[in-house]
């Protein structure tokens, strides 16, 4: 017989399995990630936007021309995560950072793996670390993280 005073608890997962079409520009970005590269797009006045968009966010003009950027870049701003949650991209402490890739005029949000927070400084150079080719599927997660350059 069940315990007459037990209060039941249970995990309850609500999941919506959305799939969305990428369009030509994000599609090109994700295809490049799968190939182990990062690309941006040329916006108005030759400005390079990363990740690429179909329209220039300042002028609303159509962007044109995919260009290679990175794999190196510079940390613009960052936030240190001391205690990663269960669904964090890394299970050790890391930084979320806006990274301006070489050849880009905008910064992209991604993960910086670093041993301690004091080495993550605005202006620090980092470089992309991809997952092995066999594991890449055409997703932002194909780019595992950025690591400090030369470390």
Bond into 51 cis (ω within 30): yes
Cβ proximity to other proteins, 30 vs 120, nearer residue: 30
**Shortest separation between residue 14's beta carbon and other proteins, angstroms:** 4
**Shortest separation between residue 15's beta carbon and other proteins, angstroms:** 4
Angle (CA) 41 43 47, round 5°: 90
Cβ proximity to other proteins, 37 vs 47, nearer residue: 37
**Shortest separation between residue 103's beta carbon and other proteins, angstroms:** 15
**Can you tell me the distance from the alpha carbon of 94 to that of 111, in angstroms, rounded to the nearest whole number?**
7
Q: Among all chains, which residue has been given the structure tokens 């595992």?
A: 144
Angle (CA) 38 131 37, round 5°: 15
Q: Among all chains, which residue has been given the structure tokens 């980092």?
A: 126
**Shortest separation between residue 57's beta carbon and other proteins, angstroms:** 19
Residues that bind other proteins (CB under 8 A): 1-2, 4, 6-22, 24, 26-32, 34-35, 37, 39, 65-66, 138-139
Q: Are 30 and 50 in contact (CB under 8 A)?
A: no
Q: Among all chains, which residue has been given the structure tokens 């202006």?
A: 123
Cβ proximity to other proteins, 10 vs 83, nearer residue: 10
Cβ proximity to other proteins, 121 vs 133, nearer residue: 133
């Amino acid at each position: 017989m069940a315990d007459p005073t037990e209060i039941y608890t249970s995990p309850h997962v609500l999941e919506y399995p959305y799939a969305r079409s990428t369009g030509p520009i994000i599609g090109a970005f994700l295809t490049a990630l799968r190939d182990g590269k990062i690309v941006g797009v040329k916006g108005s006045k030759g400005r390079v936007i990363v990740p690429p968009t179909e329209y220039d966010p300042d002028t609303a003009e159509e962007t044109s021309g995919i260009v290679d950027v990175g794999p190196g870049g510079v940390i613009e701003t960052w936030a240190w995560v001391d205690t990663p949650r269960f669904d964090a991209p890394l299970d050790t402490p890391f930084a979320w950072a806006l990274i301006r890739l070489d050849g880009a005029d905008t910064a992209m949000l991604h993960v910086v793996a670093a041993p301690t927070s004091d080495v993550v400084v605005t202006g620090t150079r980092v470089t992309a670390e991809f997952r092995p080719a066999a594991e890449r599927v055409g997703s932002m997660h194909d780019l595992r993280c950025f690591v400090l350059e030369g470390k």
